[in-house]
Amino acid sequence: MDSIDISKLHLWVQDRDTVLQYSNDVEWRYGQKPDYTRSNEKLAAESIQNHPENSLERLVQNLVRAFDIEANFKTNPAQWLTVVQDKFRMSTNGGNGYTITDLINSGTYKLLIGNNKHYKASEENFETSTNLFHTAFPEGFLWEVIEVYSAPPSIVFKWRHWGNFNGAYKDYAPTGETIEIIGTSVVHLRDDLKILSLEHYYDNTKFLGKLTSGGKLPNNNQTQQQTKTKSSLWQKLWNIIKQHWPWRKKSTGVNLSTSRCPFAPLAD
């Protein structure tokens, strides 16, 4: 691909903040534009790549991040700019080809992961799936392009997804480690750089294996039941002691109600 000046190209290949700046009268999922301030700060601190301003890597990264905005926050398919609306399909590891409507209804997590030992896509919807991973990664789950291997119209590129596993995943304990996914994608573009199809390839079982490596969280109901059982046993033991211990027949000379004796409540 010849040298490019991204600033002179279409809005959907500009940086994320510029895309949002000019996205007016949009039907946003939560009633307002998303705020990527914290995400931008984390990217500046943790990215391993700093692609040149007018590089093909920067263009691809901008395009996919703009697509991610639409997939997660735009609820009106007619307002999507990054894709050819009537032709777009997205797939993972050679699976089903999903439409814009599928993405709006289900979200990217559900469609990218699918059914797995530790994640049942068929039991999730947009909100439950999004909340599940936002809880596991409370500081965000960042994404960047690592390398680009070919130019338009069919771009093959390698990417990195990462975040700090500081929140529970379902009933599995967080480990605090940084979990990283490396994948490869193929994006087929029209002449105006809109997406015709997007194919992702990565190991989703390895990702979910890390999310369950911390083991199950304690079962609160079970813990409470064990505590009650232990308390009941100690109470029975104390009742036996009270029945057979002779000290109750002697005067202690101490006002137990005002003493610091730990057995005072039991001696009444």
Residues 203 and 227 in one domain: no
Is 14 a member of any domain?
A: yes
pTM above 0.85, yes or no: no
Is 120 a member of any domain?
A: yes
Which of the 8 DSSP states describes residue 250? S
Residues 78 and 123 in one domain: yes
| pLDDT score recorded for residue 116 | 87
Is 53 a member of any domain?
A: yes
| pLDDT score recorded for residue 255 | 40
- Structurally, the chain folds into a number of domains equal to 2
Expressed as residue numbers, the domain containing 132 is 6-211
Burial class (CB in 10 A: 0-12, 13-18, 19+), 63: buried
Nearest Cα residue to 146 out of 41, 65, 51: 51
Is 265 a member of any domain?
A: no
Q: Where are the beta strands (DSSP E) in the chain?
A: 89-92, 142-148, 154-164, 178-189, 195-201
Residues 149 and 118 in one domain: yes
Is 125 a member of any domain?
A: yes
Report in angstroms the alpha-carbon separations of 225 from 173, 222, 238.
21, 5, 20
pLDDT in tens, 99-150: 999 999 999 999 999 988 899 999 999 999 999 999 999 999 999 999 999 9
Is 264 a member of any domain?
A: no
For residue 153, whether the previous peptide bond is cis, meaning omega lies within 30 degrees of 0, is yes
pLDDT in tens, 23-69: 999 999 999 999 999 999 999 999 999 999 999 999 999 999 999 99
Nearest Cα residue to 66 out of 171, 187, 165: 187
